[in-house]
Structure formats: C-alpha cells, structure tokens
Structure 1
Amino acid sequence: MKFVLPRRASALATLASGVACAAVGLWLMRHYPVQPVAATALWVAIAVASFFGWRSLPLLVPALVPVIGFAPWTGWITFEELDLLVLAVAAGGYLAIASTAPPRKPVAWRYRTLRWRAAVRVLMAVFALSAFIAVWRGFDQAGGMDFGFWQGFQEPMNSLRAGKSFFLVLLLLPLWQKASDLRPSSVQRLSRAAWVLVLITTSLGALWERWVYTGLLDFSTDYRTTSLFWEMNVGGASLDGALALSLPFGMLWAMRERRPLRFVAALAVLLLAFYASLTTFSRGVYLAVPAGMAICAILWAVQRRDGPEASRQDAPASTAFPGAGRRVPLAWSVGVIAGTAVAAWVLFGAGGYRALLALSGSVAVLLAMPASRAAWPRGQMRALLVLATLPALLLALLGGLLIDLVPKGAYLIDGIVVLSGLGLAWLWRGGLTQPSQAFALAIVWMASLAGAGLVAAHWGSGRDVVAIAAVLGMLAAAWIATQWSPRVGADLRTASWRARGLVWTACLLACAVVAALGGGAYIGQRMSTGQQDFEGRLEHWRVSLGLLKSADEWLLGKGSGRFPASFANGGPFEERVGDYHLNPARSEVPASGLPGAEPFPHPTVTLTSGLHMMGNGEMFRLSQRVPAVAGEVAATVMLRTQFKTQLRVEVCEKFLLYPLRCVDREAAIEPKGGAWQPVQLKLGNAPADFGGPAWAPRRLVASVTQNWRGGVLEIASISIVDSVHGPVLQNGDFSDGLARWFFSSDRNHMPFHMKSLPAHVLFEQGLFGLALWTSLLVTVLMRLTFGAGRHHPLAPAVVGGLVGFVIVGLFDSLIDAPRIAFLFYALMALGLGLRASSRKVHRPGDPDSRLELETLQPELESAFEDAPEVRRAMAAAGVKLKGPVTPKRPRR
C-alpha cells in the first residue's frame, strides 16, 4: 500500500468525508449503552479493517445486517449497530481512497460492471431530496427537533430512525464504485456471497428459534417466527422481507454451482430457507417466495438462451428445467414433484414425518438412477420391469409380518434398501451396460416404495393400509409406464446431477408443505381467515390514508416515522396503543411518607397502556433481558399514578413476542393522591429448568406492564431479585436513561404500521415521493430485464428479490424497519448500477484482451460450463482459473 498526500479537490472531499464519518461514529460510540470502551475498540478495528480492505468490505456490509441488531440488550432504537457499521466502513474506506494510491489502474469503461448512468444518478438524488424533506417534515410534525437517545415511536427522533436507511446506502455507493472500477468481477462474487449470507443467517435464526421454543415439527402452536429481527417487537414483516430479498440468490447459487460439495451446500441452504419461510405462517411469503424464485429461474434461462451457449444443440430453455449442460424437461420435473406431493399427502396422514422421510429416500433412489449406455431388446426390458415388482411385493408381505416382531424393523428395512439403491447408482454412475444392472435398480426402486409403505403402516399401526398401497402402486405403475418405451422417460436419467438435485430439493419442499398443511392447525387457520384479514387491511388503509388532511400532506407526506403518532392521535379512539416516555431527572422527596425516603435525582419513565381490548398479548411491555433467574422471585416497583390501574410484573421464557413459561404477579394500584408508593410483589418460585438447558438456552425477559385500559404510571425504579442470584436487573433506576430497556406489543400491531409498502411511502413522502420511489423500482426492473444489465449474472436474483419484496409489501410496510429498508435500498442501488461489460474476441498477446477475459471470467465460466476449450484459452491468456484445465487431446 502506497501512501500519497491528497491534493486534488476530489481527494480532499473524500478525505473530509472519511474524517466526518469517523467523528460521527466515535461520538456515537461514546454514548453506546453497553460496554462503550470495548464497543469503541471493536468499531476502530472495523474501521482499520475497512482501511486495508475497502475493495471488498463495503460490498459485504449487507451480509452483516441480520446479525447486528442488539436493541433488546442495549435499548437503542434511534441509532443502532447498522449505523455504526456503515460509519466505520465508510470512514476506513474514504480515508484509504484519499490517502493511498490504488494498487492497479481502473479498467476501461466498457469493462466495468457497476456504473450508474447520469439519469439514474439524478433520479436517486431527487429521491434523496424527497427523503430528506420527509425527515424534516417528521421533525416539524412532532413539534420540532428534540434530540435524544431514548425516544420512542411517537417522539421526534423516530423521524430520523425511519428515514436514514437510504442515506446509509448512498454513503457506501462511492466505495462500491471504486472497488468495481479496479476489479469488476468482485461485484458479482462479493455481492452474491453477501446476500447468500443474509439468507443463511436469517434462516439459521429462524431454525434456532423454532428448535428451542416450539420444536422443529410443531406447526400447530400459535407462534410466528421472528428470527434475528427485533423490529418485529411490534409486529411487521421484517423476516418476510429478508427472505424474499435473499432467497433468489440462494437459488441462483444452486443453479450456477458446478462443484458437487458446494452444490449440496446450496441445496441445504435452500431447504433451510424454505423451512424458515414456512414457519413465518405469512400468506404474503407463501406467494412472494415462489414468484421471486420463478422469475429468477426464467431470467436465468433467458440469459443462457441468449448467451454464447445458445448455439449448442440443447433443448430450448423455455421447455427445460435449468440444469448443468443437459436439462430435465419441465413436464418430467413437474410430474415427479406432483407425484411426490400426492404420495406425501396420503403417507403423512397415515405415517407422519417418518413416512415422509422414507418417501424422500425413495425419490432420491429414483433420481439417482444412471442412464443406459447400451440398448437391449424391448421385450426383454418390459419383462424385467414387470418381474421387478415381484421382489417388492414379497418384501412388503414379509415386512408386514415382521415389523411387529422386530423393534424398528420397518425403519431398518427401508434404510437398507435406500442405501443399497444409492450405492448401486453410485457404482454404476457411468451408465448401465447390462440388463441385469437395470433389473437390479428397478428392484431396489420398487423395494424402496415397499419400505416407505412399511414405515407408514408401522407408525400408523396399520391405519389406511389400502390408501398407502394404492398411492405407492400408482407411483410404481407410473414409473413402469415411463420406462415401457425406450424413448419415454430417457430424459430424466440423462439429466445432469445438478438438475436432478434441484428436482429432489423441490420434492422435499413439497413434503414440507404437506407436513405443514396436514400436521399443523395454525397454518390452516391462517388460510381460512384470509378474506377476513384482507377486509381488515382495507379498512386500516382507509383510516390511515384519511389521516392525510391537507394538500401539502398529500403532496409531500406527513414525514418519515410519523405514522404511529398520527394514528394514535387521529385514528380510532379505541385502537390507541400503549407507549413510554423518559422524563428528565429532577429532585423531589417522595410523598409516600416512608421513613428514610430519599429524593429521585434520576430520570423516571411514564408507561401508558392502550385503549383497546386488553389481553395478555395486547399489553404494552417495558422489558429487559436477564441472564438467569432461580429460586424464589420478588419485585419492588416505586411508582405513582393519578388513576387506578393494574400493575403486572413478570419474568418469562421469551424470544421476542410469545412467552412460554412465566413467573408473574398482578396488583391493583390506587392513586393515593398521586404520591410515590412502593409496590412489592412475590412472583413465585422459578421452575428448576427455567431458561432451558445450557446447550439450548431460552432467553429470560423481565417485564413491567399494565393490565388496564388507559392506565398511566410514572415509574421511578424497578427491582427484581431472586433467592439465588440476588438482583437480576441492571439500570433499574433509569439513571442511565433507558439503557438495556426495550418494549414490545406481542399481538396488537396494526396501529404501528401502515401495512402496505406503497401506502407507507405515500404517507411519509406524499405523491411526489411515491412517484420517485416507483420510478426507481420500475427503472431497476426494466434495466435488469430488458436493458443494459439483463446479461449480468446477478440480474435474475436481483429482479426476483425485488419482485418478491414488493409482493410481501402489498400487505405490509416493510421499510419502516431501518435494517430491512437498508437491505431493500442496497439491492435496488446495486441493480440500478449493474451492467454487462462489452465482449470482444481474444487476441493472444493483447493485454486489453487478457484484461477482458479476466473481467468476464465469472460469466464465461458460467456460460461455457461444459466447454473445456474455453478454459484452456483463458489459461493460455494468463488468467488464473480455480478449477483444473483439461489438456487438449491430439487429433487422430
């Protein structure tokens, strides 16, 4: 790294930007609520890492977004870890650009794969102006700028919280541009990795939550996954939006991956993401995810058709399922998936999840069968197909007699058969050359169906045996029909291993959907109330848009972050929700008359409850995460009130919204003339395993709330102690503001959200902002579908992600959560700049031609997956390749 002295105006401006980001970041770190010294050291380390790695780290920022939200532990919502991360990366990157010389010259303009045209820049600048006006109007609507670190959704700083995400993205764009100018291929590699990591971390968070709190296979409990998104403390669809944005990138990875182990990893990520999507129980996700993935697959197939490989004698992309080289016709793939779904529905009703697992093994044997490399008489082949059914029937009969005598005998038989089938398929993976090999595989396939039937019959104690035999017999007959003629069913066996892997993944997804529909009452309930919920949405939109009173509000909006306060003040009286407010410190003696009482020179908190119908899930809670609670638990709350209310203190096993086990107690509170009074509550004894085992702990959350409509409490201090650990709360007297305190409303969510993405933009930024937002969205979709960026390898995933996000956004606001808004605007900005670089014929010894081959390496490797001559040409040109280069065979 060569250091230089910045002299040009652009370098000085870049240096000033880096210094400003560093100053703001360090100032925020000085006020960080938890371990500020250690947090500041970590922030400086990230800034230093960005200084040396600015060509890659800015593009990877989206990957960290799901895992850097710590508001339930810190209490910060106006500023959060995303802001600190972006400031650290920007500070290091801008300082590096201004004070160091680039390691190489930027590539020529025609080779750059990330470039925002002048018209796009103008459109983004005008939208940024609209967003700035929305923030300013939000402050104005709230009564003016009133800076504070601990303000809630109805206070002025919520405008900054809700409106800053687009500006954080703009802060990173120059770094993206500079990194792309030096190495264009890094845009594809790092961006795809970042969004796949978004998918992985989001899905793993959902998997962990379900495993610890409900069980992986419990689809009946009224429990919707929130994963790592604390923004769902008052509802919303943050998890839905993250999955919709990132799932097409996982699918693109699977479709483009050629290395077997990584392809298996991609399929595992897709299955994990499908499970996370299923556990959202969101009808919007169930519509958005298939739509986004279908669009991604279609655009990818169009890219392959229009690319250089279109000249090869392959089946048309419109009639083929995308794979590697050879392809599975769409009709066959749909037939296999549909047959699996029908069989899964019958087997699950009789044999539960174990029957579905056995069925998936049978489908794996079917899809693993290798192609035939030799032809034999048609009559002989048909005779072998018919005879292959006899061993399967014999296995079913003998197994039916033995499964009750041998423990787990059905599972053992099925496992042996499936493993034998997969082993033979691997042994003969080069192709079948003898009729005996085809006969053996046919026997194993039929026997695997019999094994699945045995598992279902054993688990269901003989229930629905006729239905099981009928559906498995149907599958066997359908397969025999496809093999009856040499020309029928051949494409399935000649398909690439990647294509068959994708079909098997789709079959597993079909089994998962069947399990969720057949084994969970909650998802059925969600589907049955769709019409009622939609009518409720329409009424909510009508009331919410009715809050826009004047012409300037319709034109410019109410301001960012102003919906909760506007709905609370102007919406239906009976739908007003609870809130909290931090009061400044003051010195006064409590009027309780207790001897030795001291003044309260520290802040207090005003906690209000809503005016809606009150229930356990509808209470507005002020909460704090606690490490451990054991033994006898008691609480003391110093408070005062002007009205009668009902105080509730609880400690619960709770991930974010839904409590499991609790120790709690309620007490009626009398006003006592507005005097301060201590309220002591014995919550009871915590269960022996409270908090779960050490290897799968459940979060413990202590909360204070009011089980009273319209209650108002001013709280001076909260103390919760147990007989083992003593005090379990920190900052119980609010001397550090609301540090470590968080809030939630488990089930009453509508007053916090507009529940429509376009309507949300209209409410905050008016018709002017909605027109600009729509223009940006249409521009990115058009240029990646029909325009300059349609040939870029990332274009299908970007379009699929944005389309899926918008579909989810038809029924939820989404971008009122800053982290999700950042992900959306980051993907949109990436799509607005993507373009396919120019192509030309390689000339040996030409450095510009060599540079272009290096620039287009990812595209060429994907386009010519089965063309070793291209890899030899790239190696001859001096381009470093990841895989081996096949030597050219001499002509005979």
Structure 2
Amino acid sequence: AQPLPRRRALLGLLLAGLGGTLLVYMFSLAGYRGLAAAVVLLAASFVLAARPLPWRLAPASVLCALCLQLLLASWWPDPARLAAGWLKGPYFLFLLAALLLAAVLLPGPPRPDGSAAKGPARLGLAMMAWTLLACNLGWIAWHWAGSPALLPAGLAVLLAALMLCNRALRPPLWQLDRASLGIAGAAGMLLLLAIPVSASYYATERFATSAGDLQGRLRHWRQVLAMQPSGWDSRLFGMGMGSFPATYYWHNPQRDVPASITYAAEGGRPGNIYVRLASPGYSAGYGELLRLLQRLPVQPATRYTLALDARRAGAMPVLQVRLCQRQLLYPQNCVNAPLRLRAPPPGAPATAWQHYAVELDSAGLGAGAWLLRPPVQLELAASGAADSSVVDVDNISLRA
C-alpha cells in the first residue's frame, strides 16, 4: 500500500481510459482507417516516450517535419489517377512516416565499446517522423470523414504528445521492458478488436432490438414446450436425442413444413443415387430456402453448359440453380441459370425424368488473385407455393 505504486497505477488507468474513450470517438467519425492510424500513433508515442528525447532539438525537428509534409502533400498526384487506394497521399505518407520511425528506433550498429548507437541525432529524426505521423493522422481523418473528424484526430495527437512526457515523471509510468510491452500490446489488440465490434452500426442495432429479440425467443420456447407430450417422462427426461425435427414437422402450431434435402436411391438400388429437394410450405408468406452448395473451380468470362435430370412431384415447384461467390453466409455476384421445369410430355408418367441443358456466362466469377479470390459455389434450392413440393435432381454437370 505504498503511495508511489498506487499513484502510478491510477495514472496508468487514467491514461488507458482516456485512450480507449478517444479511440471509440475516433472510430465513430473516422472509421477503421482513422482508428488504425490513431493506434499506430499512440503505439509510436509509447515506444518513443521511453527514450531520453533531446527536447532541445524538438523545435527544429517539428519545423523540418512540417515543411516536408507540406512539400510532399503539394507534390502528391491527384487521388483520382491512382489505382491503389493506399497510394493516396494521406495513407502513403502515413505509412512512409511509420517505416521511417521504425527504422530509426531499431538498434543501430554497435559502437566499439559494445553499446548501440542511439545518439541525439537519431532521436531527433524519430521526433521528426512522429510529427509526420501526427500530421497524416489528421489528414486521414479529414480525407475520410471531413472536418468533423479533425477534433478526435487533434485530441489523439494531444494525448500522444502528453505520452512523450513520460520520462519527465519520477519515476516514469512505463519502460521498454517485457512486462510493459506485453501489457501495451495486449491492450492495443483488445481495443482494435473490441471497438469496431461494440461501436459499429450493426452492434448498435442489435442492442437496440435486444428486448424484442428476447420476446421472440421466449415465444419460440413456449411453442416448443407446447409440442411435448403431456406425460411425466418427457417432461423430466426429454424426448430423446435428435427427436426435435420430427416433432416440429408434425406438431408445430403454424402447421409449417420445413424444407429438406435427402439422398435417395432409384428403385431401391444403391447404384443410382439422386438428391431430393423438398420446398418449404408456410401458411403465411415464404421462409428462407434450404440450399445445397458445392464449391467449383470456375473460370471468369467463360460460357458454361449446365445439364441435369429432374423430375417433380406435388404442386409446381421452382428449381433455383445459380453460381455465387460466398465466403461464409452471404452470396455475392450471383449468376442465375435460366432453368424452368416443364410439364411431362403427353403419355409420360407425372414422375418421369426429364433432361435439361442451359447455357450461362460466368462473368466475373473466379477472377482475382489466388489469395483474394472468393470461392464460387453452385447452389440448388427448391421453392414453390404455400404447399410443399418435391424436386429430384440427378446427373448434374457444369462444362465449359
């Protein structure tokens, strides 16, 4: 319970709280780019503040950095003529200043006595690089969100400047040891992950609708309990593992029929396997489709022929076939196959197989570098009217 460690702890918590609040404010106006730039500036200040800075060189370093910043900003080409976004003036100059600061702070060649060369000139150059970082942080904020983002950017620069006074305290709040670097690195990673998630529009909307979501979940749970038989054994021990789909199918109060996917054998023979897609049947409106997905190596700007055999049962279903880019959940840049199921020809049974072949263009699917190319998937789904219907699919192929 010594007063000095307690004061250091309180000052550290105050600095961390100010930094976190400021980064949330920065993200709310300048987005991910402003947040990343502010984190880099604060991290640079954390490292630089543990060095014995030559404050007598500070005016000259700041003046040289401002002149260099004005020269490079005025000389930089028009952003409309630059292909890559990172080549735009604020982003490229910020990256250049960060690389310069990292190169200056790296250990230099050892002196004859075995110590590293970290003289005032190198630290003066580091202060110059820090000034360039601060200038380009404000430029990034203004470039991304306009004049309203200049206030959080200015506050971030002010906090970073206050951090540079660390060695003026007796004793300093931190030093470049393993414990300080570990705590600062963990705090930085936590803020970079937590702030975009907690302060985003999606999270705000989710928190705003949490009360309604809870009511909907309680309603679902009450409906599920109402589907159980009234016997004491099911109330105490449940109805068995895997019994919920069948229970919901037969006893859901809305009398909805969920979609299903089944692999079946033709005529009971195991040699010919086909897939059976049952469309959903809902008493009010339409539910989400159940899709069968398979990844395919598709070439861009290529004409393909999609061929399959299909047969239908029940009300007239719609077989949806398309190629889409999909990383996890959401499809993008889909190419639909113009496929319509026909009625059986005269004299043929209603469940007769029919062959279909349609052409489609892959457009931009499959384009891009190997690491940046989104996977392409073939999607099959059955949809229809309010009543459930069935489509069987076999012998499907996609050929150039």
TM-score normalised per structure 1:
0.36
Asked if 2 retains the 8 angstrom alpha-carbon contact of 1:610 and 1:619, the reply is yes
Pairing of 1:156-167 with structure 2 (within 5 A): none
Aligned-partner Cα distance in 2 for 1:368–1:416: 14
Asked if 2 retains the 8 angstrom alpha-carbon contact of 1:578 and 1:608, the reply is yes
Match of 1:401 among 35, 54, 70: 70
Q: Which residue of 2 aligns with 1:547?
A: 227
Pairing of 1:637-656 with structure 2 (within 5 A): 637-656=309-328
Aligned-partner Cα distance in 2 for 1:427–1:361: 28
Aligned-partner Cα distance in 2 for 1:431–1:331: 35
Deviation (angstroms), 1:355 = 3.9
- Which structure has more relative contact order (CA 8 Å, sep 6+)? It is 1
Asked if 2 retains the 8 angstrom alpha-carbon contact of 1:417 and 1:447, the reply is no
The size of the alignment, in residue pairs, is 372
Measured against aligned partners, the alpha-carbon deviations of 1:248-298 in whole angstroms (never above 9, x if no partner) come to: xxxxxxxxxxxxxxxxxxxxxxxxxxxxxxxxxxxxxxxxxxxxxxxxxxx
Q: Which residue of 1 aligns with 2:381?
A: 705
Task: Letter of the 2:388 partner, please give it.
Answer: G
Deviation (angstroms), 1:639 = 0.7
Whether 1:537 and 2:217 are equivalent positions in the alignment is yes
Cα distance change on mapping 1:534 and 1:443 into 2, 3 Å: same
Aligned-partner Cα distance in 1 for 2:359–2:46: 58
Measured against aligned partners, the alpha-carbon deviations of 1:95-121 in whole angstroms (never above 9, x if no partner) come to: xxxxxxxxxxxxxxxxxxxxxxxxxxx
Pairing of 1:54-133 with structure 2 (within 5 A): none
Cα distance change on mapping 1:700 and 1:350 into 2, 3 Å: closer
Aligned residue for 1:635, secondary structure, equals: strand
Asked if 1 retains the 8 angstrom alpha-carbon contact of 2:333 and 2:365, the reply is no
Aligned-partner Cα distance in 2 for 1:511–1:677: 56
Q: Which residue of 1 aligns with 2:363?
A: 687
Measured against aligned partners, the alpha-carbon deviations of 1:109-149 in whole angstroms (never above 9, x if no partner) come to: xxxxxxxxxxxxxxxxxxxxxxxxxxxxxxxxxxxxxxxxx
Task: Letter of the 2:242 partner, please give it.
Answer: G
Aligned-partner Cα distance in 2 for 1:348–1:388: 33
Q: Which residue of 1 aligns with 2:276?
A: 606
Aligned-partner Cα distance in 1 for 2:155–2:108: 25
Aligned-partner Cα distance in 1 for 2:266–2:315: 23
Task: Letter of the 2:351 partner, please give it.
Answer: A
Asked if 2 retains the 8 angstrom alpha-carbon contact of 1:414 and 1:455, the reply is no
Pairing of 1:21-420 with structure 2 (within 5 A): 331=10, 334-348=13-27, 353-369=32-48, 390=59, 394=63, 397-398=66-67, 401-407=70-76, 408=89, 410-411=93-94, 414-415=97-98, 418-419=101-102
Asked if 2 retains the 8 angstrom alpha-carbon contact of 1:361 and 1:418, the reply is no
Task: Letter of the 2:105 partner, please give it.
Answer: L
TM-score normalised per structure 2:
0.72
Aligned-partner Cα distance in 2 for 1:548–1:329: 61
Aligned residue for 1:711, secondary structure, equals: coil
Q: Which residue of 2 aligns with 1:621?
A: 291
Where structure 2 has 5 or more consecutive residues not aligned to the other structure, the ranges are 77-88
Aligned-partner Cα distance in 2 for 1:425–1:337: 31
Cα distance change on mapping 1:330 and 1:445 into 2, 3 Å: farther
Asked if 1 retains the 8 angstrom alpha-carbon contact of 2:41 and 2:134, the reply is no
Cα distance change on mapping 1:443 and 1:718 into 2, 3 Å: same
Aligned-partner Cα distance in 2 for 1:465–1:688: 37
Deviation (angstroms), 1:399 = 5.1
Deviation (angstroms), 1:556 = 1.8
Aligned residue for 2:75, secondary structure, equals: coil
Match of 1:505 among 186, 193, 202: 186
Match of 1:586 among 254, 263, 267: 267
Q: Which residue of 2 aligns with 1:761?
A: none
Whether 1:661 and 2:354 are equivalent positions in the alignment is no
Aligned-partner Cα distance in 2 for 1:669–1:314: 86
Q: Which residue of 1 aligns with 2:174?
A: 492
Task: Letter of the 1:619 partner, please give it.
Answer: L
Q: Alignment identity in percent?
A: 19
Structure whose residues are more often strand by fraction: 2
Aligned-partner Cα distance in 1 for 2:115–2:212: 56
Aligned-partner Cα distance in 2 for 1:334–1:425: 34
Deviation (angstroms), 1:578 = 0.6
Asked if 1 retains the 8 angstrom alpha-carbon contact of 2:279 and 2:388, the reply is yes
Cα distance change on mapping 1:698 and 1:362 into 2, 3 Å: closer
Task: Letter of the 2:98 partner, please give it.
Answer: G
Cα distance change on mapping 1:467 and 1:545 into 2, 3 Å: same
Pairing of 1:424-463 with structure 2 (within 5 A): 440=124, 443=127, 447=131, 450-456=134-140, 459-460=143-144, 463=147
Cα distance change on mapping 1:392 and 1:540 into 2, 3 Å: farther
Aligned-partner Cα distance in 2 for 1:537–1:461: 39
Asked if 2 retains the 8 angstrom alpha-carbon contact of 1:634 and 1:681, the reply is yes
Asked if 2 retains the 8 angstrom alpha-carbon contact of 1:568 and 1:576, the reply is yes
Q: Which residue of 2 aligns with 1:198?
A: none
Aligned residue for 1:586, secondary structure, equals: helix
Q: Which residue of 1 aligns with 2:159?
A: 475
Aligned-partner Cα distance in 2 for 1:352–1:389: 31
Measured against aligned partners, the alpha-carbon deviations of 1:372-397 in whole angstroms (never above 9, x if no partner) come to: 89xxxxxxx9xx76x67645753664
Aligned residue for 1:643, secondary structure, equals: coil
Aligned-partner Cα distance in 2 for 1:534–1:337: 34
Cα distance change on mapping 1:515 and 1:684 into 2, 3 Å: same
Asked if 2 retains the 8 angstrom alpha-carbon contact of 1:642 and 1:671, the reply is no
Aligned-partner Cα distance in 2 for 1:431–1:486: 25
Aligned-partner Cα distance in 1 for 2:61–2:15: 21
Cα distance change on mapping 1:712 and 1:558 into 2, 3 Å: same
Aligned-partner Cα distance in 2 for 1:713–1:640: 6
Task: Letter of the 1:573 partner, please give it.
Answer: Q
Deviation (angstroms), 1:471 = 0.4
Aligned residue for 1:676, secondary structure, equals: coil
Task: Letter of the 2:289 partner, please give it.
Answer: M
Deviation (angstroms), 1:619 = 0.8
Task: Letter of the 1:602 partner, please give it.
Answer: N
Task: Letter of the 1:475 partner, please give it.
Answer: L
Aligned residue for 1:453, secondary structure, equals: helix
Deviation (angstroms), 1:419 = 1.9
Cα distance change on mapping 1:516 and 1:503 into 2, 3 Å: same
Deviation (angstroms), 1:351 = 5.5
Where structure 1 has 5 or more consecutive residues not aligned to the other structure, the ranges are 1-312, 321-327, 374-380, 588-598, 725-892
Aligned-partner Cα distance in 2 for 1:623–1:416: 45
Measured against aligned partners, the alpha-carbon deviations of 1:64-104 in whole angstroms (never above 9, x if no partner) come to: xxxxxxxxxxxxxxxxxxxxxxxxxxxxxxxxxxxxxxxxx
